[in-house]
Amino acid sequence: MSFQLSDKFGRKINYLRMSVTDRCDFRCVYCMSEQMTFLPRAQLLTLEELEILGSAFVELGVSKIRITGGEPLIRKGILQLFQNLSQLSDLKELVLTTNGSQLEKMAKSLREAGVKRLNISFDSLKAKRFQEITRNGKLEKVVRGIDAAIQTGFERIKINAVILKNRNHDEVVDLVQFAVDKGIDISFIEEMPVGVVNSHDREEGFYSSEQIRRDLSRFFTLLPTTETTNGPAKYYQIPNTTTRVGFISPHSHNFCDSCNRVRVTTEGRLILCLGQENSVDLRRVIRANPGSTEPLKQAIIEAMAYKPKGHNFDLAAQPNILRYMNVTGG
């Protein structure tokens, strides 16, 4: 039988999220501060190194890779990485999280390069508000990107909306209606205290999944599904539509017991838990051993011993985690 990564709590690790750049054309208020300093390029993993990493993880039993960032689609040459990773025969799912700004021109090439499913961040249907939340984003351009993705025919497209009290909590019903009209899925995410943000107080801005569910239930029937994407989201089906509504609730619902994932940052640091600071430097191992992936695989296997039991997010103790979400990749 082939190898399967696992940690000391017996959790199977079969899902890798790779951040391919810390740079982004947006500056979302929950993700970044207004003035960001990005990493020098020499510190980033090259596309070749990202591919070596991806294939080492797949050889160790990872069957799903999500490419994230920063904004993955602004990294030069990224299509080649998708093409190369999609050739790995044991990789069952190659998926992408994007802010949608480049989808209008890239959706078709992404599908052709082997991307099966897309998560698109989308927090508001109001142009002015969309621009305020993203600090740079243009609503219409992202909607055209979503439409291009729908026409391209991905297996599944999902909108991700981070909901903040007094910023966009009044739009949850409209966002679900948008997803229903487009025939796509939607997940609501509770804000996580990752990185230092200066635009709002995270405790005051907290809007729970439970509250969103209550708001939605006045307009929609939400039927609980047993379906799982092996992730932290709980899904509900809206009857007579193809739309599923998910809730990712790190605060109100702790999902650590079934955690099946690890992350690699833009600099090649293996992050064992989004809610903990410890990490292992895989870039050093790759660069010290050109032409051989065995030391890398060994380092990954040994790192699993450091995967903690769970996160300790606490909105009152800001920030919990100093790294920004764009470095880790959400």
Residue 264 interacts with which of ligand SAM, ligand SF4, none, CB < 5 to 8 Å by class: none
Q: Which of 5, 13, 16, 24 binds ligand SF4 (CB under 6 A)?
A: 24
Q: Which residue, judged by CB position, is nearest to ligand SAM in the bound state?
A: 330
Token representation of residue 50: 């990202």
DSSP string, 248-313: E-TTTS--GGG--EEEE-TT-EEES-TTS--EEEHHHHHHHSTT--HHHHHHHHHHGGG--S----
Comparing CA positions, the residue from 264, 272, 246 lying closest to residue 119 is 246
Question: Is there binding between residue 274 and ligand SAM (CB under 6 A)?
Answer: no
Nearer to ligand SAM, 54 or 275 (CB): 275
x-or-dash pattern for ligand SAM, window 159-198, by CB under 6 A?
-x-x--------------------------x-xx-x----
- Dihedral-angle region of residue 218 (phi above 0 means left; psi in -120 to 50 means alpha; beta otherwise): alpha
113-142 footprint of ligand SF4 as x/- string (CB under 6 A): --------x---------------------
Contact between 91 and ligand SF4 by CB under 6 A: the answer reads: no
Tell whether residue 266 is a contact of ligand SAM (CB under 6 A).
no
Write out the binding residues for ligand SF4, residues 57-86 only, by CB under 6 A.
69-71
Tokens describing residue 209: 């999944």
Rule CB under 6 A: say whether 31 interacts with ligand SF4: yes
d(CA 68, CA 90): 20
Residue 32 interacts with ligand SF4 (CB under 6 A)? yes
Q: Give the integer Cα–Cα distance in Å for 292 and 277.
A: 28
Residue with smaller CB distance to ligand SF4, 138 or 309: 138
CB environment 155-187: b (16+ within 10 A), e (fewer):
eebbbbbbbbbebbeebbeebbbbbbebebbbb
- Give bridge partners of residue 120 from the DSSP assignment: 98, 159
Which phi and psi angles does 158 have, rounded to 5°? -135, 135
**Part in contact with ligand SAM (CB under 6 A); list of ranges 46-54, 67-75, 85-93, 303-311:** 67-75
Neighbours of 292 (CB within 10 A): 10
Provide the binding-site residues for ligand SF4, judged by CB under 6 A: 24, 26-28, 31-32, 69-71, 99, 121, 325-326
Q: Which residues bind ligand SAM (CB under 6 A)?
A: 24, 30-31, 68-69, 71, 97-99, 121, 160, 162, 189, 191-192, 194, 325-326, 329-330
